[in-house]
């Protein structure tokens, strides 16, 4: 299991969601979107975004007096990091117990099971071809 050191706070997730959908975008744009759900002031959003630049989560581009932000990590990288962090904390880094927990404790539909089985079959076929 590969590990990524990108641990995101809920506030960073919220900001990245907006940036991924609208990049490149300015901090006022992000604040306007988040103000509805979070009630965050511009100064809060701008401070968080500047910290995210230092942390390597966002990149900036300056056009005259305007700073545009882009995500420095992909949605997939962020999701991977979160999944591995959860597996590490809740299941001592073991994937199989997590999958067993989800299958036994969640209400999966027949369609969910069918899709999971298909994913596993496709993965096995792909692995055989590359060996």
**H/E run at residue 117:** helix 110-130
Indicate if 87 and 99 belong to the same structural domain.
no
Q: Are residues 53 and 34 in the same domain?
A: yes
Residue 69 φ/ψ region, left for φ over 0, alpha for ψ in the -120 to 50 degree band, beta for the rest: beta
Query: Do residue 99 and residue 130 come from a single domain?
Result: yes
Confidence label for 42 from pLDDT (cuts 50, 70 and 90): very high
Q: Which residue has the tokens 């990049």?
A: 23
Q: Which domain CATH number covers 11? A: 1.10.10.10
pTM over 0.85: no
- Domains contained in the chain, number: 2
Q: Whole domain around residue 108: which residue ranges?
A: 94-131
Element (H, E) at 2: none
Residues 6+ apart with CB under 8 A from 93: 1, 87
**Could you report the per-residue pLDDT of 63-93, keeping only the tens digit for each?**
999 999 999 999 999 999 888 888 999 999 8
Residues 74, 127, single domain; the answer is no
- 117 and 63 assigned to the same domain: no
Length reported for the chain? 131
């Amino acid at each position: 299991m590969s590990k990524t050191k990108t641990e995101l706070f809920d506030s960073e997730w919220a900001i990245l969601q907006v940036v991924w959908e609208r990049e490149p975008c300015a901090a006022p744009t992000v604040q306007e979107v988040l103000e509805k759900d979070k009630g965050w002031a511009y100064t809060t959003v701008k401070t968080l975004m500047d910290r995210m630049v230092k942390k390597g989560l966002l990149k900036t581009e300056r056009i005259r007096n305007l700073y545009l932000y882009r995500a420095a990590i992909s949605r997939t990288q962020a999701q991977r990091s979160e999944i591995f962090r959860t597996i590490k904390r809740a299941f001592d880094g073991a994937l199989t117990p997590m999958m067993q927990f989800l299958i036994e404790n969640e209400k999966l539909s027949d369609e969910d099971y069918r899709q999971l089985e298909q994913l596993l079959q496709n993965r096995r076929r792909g692995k055989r071809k590359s060996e």
